[in-house]
């Protein structure tokens, strides 16, 4: 317990130092103290890449452990952990593969409910990697999840950008985000981005879902296509929206569906998802403003394999397209970016050394959750809380009264030197539970890149101590 309480103190100190308005002052740590006092402690550590987390009607946190391929039930007061199931056949990788999204049926634990629980994971089908969504049954007597049944199988997955958030809508449908597998970058730089590719009738007939990369799906709980899904380019499929890069966050606020999405070196996004909308990737990052982004399509370069991918310098021979040279009529711009910079921005900042990407203006948003209108923290009411992996913080965005737009400012809250994977607000709105990644980089308390995470593989509880 000594270690935990010491960690708790360290966390509390760093919060006190870092509650600044990010929009007002980019040089953090120097100005305005937030008025809300929080204290913090580590609820549980030793988790193997916690990924999704929901507050269940049984008063517990339900958590997917991506790399352990398990689903956990954790007591939010004591940190006591029960393994509900360890899923078979999961393909686990270092960063993006394993058990991802988790959603409980809307009638979960109500009288007569079958207590269905849904999760997504990556798997190998021969040499091909895919993602699937499964349905399980929870038995409160044995405290186990059993009988996994396929809901939707065979959608695209890979070693990068799998999206992976699974949520129920108020319409009783399942919504699921899929990334574009990080094509056109890194080790996958010669593979084309399929975020704009739409499924054909022939593909759907064969249950070939290879065009579902870079999309958000809407499906019935049995995996079928809802009758009222949008018809896009003449085809009705599981697609709800398209043109996404790596959308990992998904939350309904009333009927409005917000999604956070990871951009390239600029322009992480907060979007409102509307049926049939095209969110622009890879032709547009953020707004269609021609600022600090062009679409460099390596897959169309002659002899791509002979080239070297470089995020800071596009090699000769790679076709380039300006954002304003692309004009899809159903393009939906984001409601907010994190952050847009002007052309000429120095992406390869020498002061960041080999970790130059850590100093990019992006935040690596991993999830989005909602802080309600009647929450105890007054200035947080009606806000979205977006977890940042790279910057170890929650970026708070205030919504307009009608929930259909954002107000201007973004506040950076609750910083620690940890990669924030997912946040959940307790029903009494006093506590924010944050699950943390196990490895990789984060900005430390002096805003410098570090790979020394304070509390890897943990759930941190930030508790409001004000009135």
Taking the C-alpha atoms of residue 84 and residue 277, their distance in angstroms, rounded to an integer, is: 37
Of 87-95, 155-163, 279-287, 349-357: span binding Ca ion (CB under 5 A): 279-287
Give 165 or 415: the residue with its C-beta nearer to Ca ion.
165
Give 176 or 293: the residue with its C-beta nearer to Ca ion.
293
Question: In a 3-state reduction of DSSP, which class is residue 155?
Answer: strand
CB of 239 to Ca ion, least distance (A): 16
Question: In a 3-state reduction of DSSP, which class is residue 326?
Answer: coil
CB of 261 to Ca ion, least distance (A): 6
CB of 177 to Ca ion, least distance (A): 13
Give 340 or 458: the residue with its C-beta nearer to Ca ion.
340
The residue behind tokens 């021609």 is: 290
The residue behind tokens 């607000």 is: 425
Give 251 or 414: the residue with its C-beta nearer to Ca ion.
251
- 137: contact with Ca ion by CB under 5 A: no
What is each CA distance from 273 to 130, 137, 241, 283, 333, in whole angstroms?
24, 30, 7, 18, 10
Of 111-119, 150-158, 282-290, 438-446: span binding Ca ion (CB under 5 A): 282-290
Give 252 or 287: the residue with its C-beta nearer to Ca ion.
287
CB of 123 to Ca ion, least distance (A): 29
- 361: contact with Ca ion by CB under 5 A: no
For 171, other C-beta atoms within 10 Å of its C-beta total 12
- 247: contact with Ca ion by CB under 5 A: no
Do residues 364 and 268 make contact, with C-beta atoms less than 8 angstroms apart?
yes
- 277: contact with Ca ion by CB under 5 A: no
Do residues 463 and 430 make contact, with C-beta atoms less than 8 angstroms apart?
yes
Give 102 or 195: the residue with its C-beta nearer to Ca ion.
195
Of 40-48, 75-83, 280-288, 427-435: span binding Ca ion (CB under 5 A): 280-288
What is each CA distance from 110 to 57, 106, 458, in whole angstroms?
9, 9, 30
- Residue among 338, 340, 323, 336 at smallest CA distance from 271: 336
Q: Which of 280, 361, 365, 456 binds Ca ion (CB under 5 A)?
A: 280
CB of 284 to Ca ion, least distance (A): 6
CB of 328 to Ca ion, least distance (A): 11
R_g of the chain, CA atoms, integer Å: 21
Between residue 286 and residue 305, which ones bind Ca ion under the rule CB under 5 A? 286-287, 289, 293
| Site string (341-360) toward Ca ion, x via CB under 5 A | --------------------
Q: Provide the β-strand partners of residue 40.
A: 462
Six-digit token pair at 226?
A: 């809802």
Q: Provide the β-strand partners of residue 431.
A: 463
- 274: contact with Ca ion by CB under 5 A: no
DSSP-derived secondary structure for 161-226: -----EEE-TTS-EEEEE--TTTTSGGGTTSPP-TT----HHHHHTT--GGGTTEEEEE-TTSPPP
For 31, other C-beta atoms within 10 Å of its C-beta total 11
- 279: contact with Ca ion by CB under 5 A: yes
Residue 161 known to be catalytic:
yes
DSSP state of 335: S
Give 38 or 293: the residue with its C-beta nearer to Ca ion.
293
Of 171-179, 200-208, 277-285, 419-427: span binding Ca ion (CB under 5 A): 277-285
Out of 161, 183, 238, 283, pick the active-site residue.
161
Catalytic residues: 161
Residues at the interface with Ca ion (CB under 5 A): 279-280, 285-287, 289, 293
């Amino acid at each position: 317990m000594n270690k935990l309480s010491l960690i708790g103190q360290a966390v509390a100190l760093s919060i006190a130092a870092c509650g600044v308005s990010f929009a007002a002052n980019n040089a953090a740590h120097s100005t305005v103290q937030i008025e809300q006092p929080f204290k913090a402690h580590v609820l549980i550590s030793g988790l193997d890449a916690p990924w999704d987390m929901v507050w269940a009607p049984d008063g517990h946190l339900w958590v997917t452990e991506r790399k352990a391929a398990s689903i956990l039930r954790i007591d939010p007061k004591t940190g006591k952990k029960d393994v509900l199931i360890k899923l078979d056949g999961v393909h686990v990788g270092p960063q993006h593969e394993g058990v991802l999204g988790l959603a409980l049926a809307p009638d979960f634990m109500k009288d007569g409910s079958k207590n269905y629980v849904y999760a997504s994971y990556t798997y190998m089908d021969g040499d091909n990697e895919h993602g699937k969504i499964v349905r399980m049954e929870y038995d409160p007597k044995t405290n186990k999840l059993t009988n996994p049944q396929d809901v939707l199988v065979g959608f695209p997955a890979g070693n990068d950008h799998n999206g992976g958030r699974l949520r129920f809508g108020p319409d009783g449908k399942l919504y699921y985000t899929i990334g574009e597998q990080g094509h056109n970058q890194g080790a996958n730089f010669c593979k084309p981005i399929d975020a704009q590719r739409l499924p054909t009738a022939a593909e759907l007939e064969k249950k070939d879902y290879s065009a579902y990369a870079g999309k958000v799906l809407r499906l019935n709980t049995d995996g079928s296509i809802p009758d009222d899904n949008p018809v896009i380019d003449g085809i009705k499929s599981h697609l709800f929206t398209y043109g996404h890069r790596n959308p990992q966050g998904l939350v309904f606020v009333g009927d409005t569906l917000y999604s956070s999405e990871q951009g390239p070196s600029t322009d992480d996004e907060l979007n409102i998802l509307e049926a049939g909308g095209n969110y622009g990737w890879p032709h547009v990052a953020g707004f269609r403003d021609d600022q600090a982004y062009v679409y460099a399509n390596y897959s169309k370069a002659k002899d791509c394999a002979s080239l070297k991918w470089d995020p800071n310098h596009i090699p000769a021979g790679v076709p380039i397209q300006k954002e304003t040279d692309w004009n899809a009529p159903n393009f939906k711009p984001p409601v907010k970016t994190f952050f847009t910079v002007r052309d000429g921005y120095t992406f390869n900042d020498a002061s960041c050394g080999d970790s130059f990407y850590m100093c990019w203006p992006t935040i690596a948003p991993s999830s989005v959750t909602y802080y309600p209108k009647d929450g105890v923290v007054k200035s947080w009411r009606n806000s979205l809380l977006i977890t940042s992996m790279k910057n170890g913080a929650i970026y708070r965005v205030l919504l307009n009264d009608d929930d259909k737009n954002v107000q201007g400012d973004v506040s950076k809250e609750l910083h620690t030197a940890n990669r924030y994977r997912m946040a959940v607000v307790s029903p009494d709105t006093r506590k924010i539970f944050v699950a943390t990644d196990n490895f990789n980089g984060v900005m430390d308390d002096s805003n410098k890149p570090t790979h020394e995470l304070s509390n890897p593989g943990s759930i941190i509880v930030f508790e409001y101590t004000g009135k």
